[in-house]
Chain A
């Protein structure tokens, strides 16, 4: 009994010391007169130096967390628990969050840097007048491939992925809308299709790709392509840019049947604590120099006109990553299809994955 009491006291003392240390450490990192903001972003989606710079300039300390899908981000914001002040969802998620009253209006007066954004990316159908969102990055879904590992195959069309010479070579991104959307596009249907026959046809067609599929994974794709473990990957443009940064052999193409054009945006959740700090952060990220540095680091395409002027013209002139407007016309933006349809897409995707078992 004596031993137990002693052990219990020891544990309590150690915990108290640890708690105190954590508090001291947190205070010293937050020279807080500007308070704290929590930023909730995709993984590998900001230059960490910019967070330090923001903290220095504004005296607001930043708590930074990441998510790996729009859906998990929305679930977490909806459940509360942690309050976030800024998040970066994609366009269809913004529509959904708007419907669920998860967003609060953005005060344009506090974001003077909004004028730096290319008007093409403002006032889009998912958020007229940018009442709730400010553009962060944009890009496409396409095919990254490594010609040195291939025998001259090209990827102008989605159908090229079904080429029998590509056995066990193709990696797909683990996301229902991207993969089912690719099946729909390859048949000439819209990737926002809600027609069950079209969806069934797309899934059946995808299943015939089975022998070529090497894996269906997430962010690991970048590592796999960099190390030449795989020759072909269906992925987002920015991930492709990441791969090309390390491995110069890799190329990227957006198939001609069409594909997805997406926009990630900064929003302020309705549950935010530090609304003023959130505005300051958004405005900071739109500063031309900040946005240019961020785009260089992240590799996705920036909607910031003034930033593009500061960047290497070789990067911003690359039509694979900055497709001109007439090319963008071929692409489609995801619409919010509603929970039930999203469920259907996911069931079909699951069915497709089940079929991969060998």
Chain B
């Protein structure tokens, strides 16, 4: 492509957007995190963050986000692999994506009904002679619903990277005498790892700050950093503390992005020439 002198002009809306809606809000959050209730400069918020309550909250947010991500991968990977083998890939993919178009709140309220003492889940258990059990407002229901919500976001990137693998590579591996397991471990898994990394980013980071589900499904017995931010802004009106927690959340996100960042090495890396 030749350098077109008017090209920078096309970038103006993009730069404006980034400046107004990405850089400015982050700068504001950073600024507010140094203010106390009266609006004076302070480092107290940061000191507060390292108190036991917030440290425990951070740890438990990470623990739940880790569990949710892990279970999502365990379900999404085989699903994505199976999808690449089916005939009507696009149809199956659509069926997996459609639930993610439904509003999160609606899904949460539906689960309140499903997991209730008199809901279908317990009815099913009772036909097997078990229960009724308290399913709603437990760790189990929290993780179950979160995993359900995040599955499409994990299936898609993994499917994309699995689908891109050149089948000739797998045939070659077989021809050279590798077992199915070795083929998976040495060929398929390394080639699709970038899809898993994108999936982890799309699941782990939002899972750190879930807050609607913590209330509706976990009955506020699971507290994440998101809950704390909501409360600081809306109830306590301590914007400084709310911003400080947000700053740490942004930091954690950057760290996770770096850990799961993709190193592009060579264009034909995954076997298909471009």
Partner-B contacts on A (CB < 8 A): 69, 71-72, 74-75, 168, 171, 174, 176, 213-218, 220, 223, 227-229, 339-340, 342-343, 346-347, 350-351, 353-354, 356-358
Contacts and interface: CB of A to CB of B under 8 A. Distances in A.
Nearest to A171: B219
A84 B218 CA distance: 34
Residue from B112, B219, B222, B232 having most chain A Cβ neighbours under 10 A = B219
Nearest to A68: B234
Contacts of A228: 117-118
A342 B112 CA distance: 31
A151 B6 CA distance: 80
A75 B231 CA distance: 12
27 contacts: A69-B235, A71-B236, A72-B234, A72-B235, A75-B233, A171-B219, A174-B215, A214-B219, A215-B219, A215-B220, A218-B215, A220-B216, A223-B112, A227-B116, A227-B118, A229-B117, A339-B237, A342-B235, A342-B237, A343-B238, A350-B57, A350-B231, A354-B53, A354-B60, A356-B220, A357-B221, A357-B222
Contacts of B222: 357
Interface stretch (B67-75, B85-93, B132-140, B176-184): B132-140
Given A72-B235, A214-B219, A228-B117, 16 more contacts: A174-B220, A176-B235, A214-B137, A215-B221, A216-B215, A218-B215, A227-B117, A228-B118, A342-B237, A343-B236, A350-B53, A356-B221, A357-B221, A357-B223, A358-B139, A358-B221
Contacts of B223: 350, 353-354, 357
B56 interface: yes
A72 B139 CA distance: 28
A168 B134 contact: yes
A216 B136 CA distance: 12
Contact of B221 (A72, A216, A343, A350): A216
A214 B221 CA distance: 9
A213 B221 contact: yes
A358 B223 CA distance: 11
Contact of B238 (A171, A216, A339, A356): A339
Contact of B37 (A69, A72, A339, A346): A339
A71 B235 contact: yes
Contacts of A357: 60, 139, 221-223
A350 B228 contact: yes
Interface of B: 37, 53, 56-57, 60, 112, 116-118, 134, 136-137, 139, 215-216, 218-223, 228, 231-238, 241
B219 A216 contact: yes
Given A215-B137, A220-B216, A342-B236, A347 B53 contact: yes
Nearest to A177: B235
A340 B236 CA distance: 8
A69 B235 CA distance: 8
Contacts of A214: 134, 137, 219
Contacts of B232: 346
A323 B183 CA distance: 76
A218 B108 CA distance: 14
Contacts of A356: 220-221
Contacts of B220: 174, 215-217, 353, 356
A346 B218 CA distance: 19
B234 A354 contact: no
Contacts of A346: 231-232, 235-236
Contact of A217 (B37, B134, B215): B215
Nearest to B115: A229
B238 A351 contact: no
B97 to A, nearest CB: 22
A152 B218 CA distance: 29
Q: Which 4 residue pairs are nearest across A and B when measured between Cβ atoms?
A: A215-B219, A216-B220, A356-B221, A215-B137
Contacts of B237: 71, 74-75, 339, 342
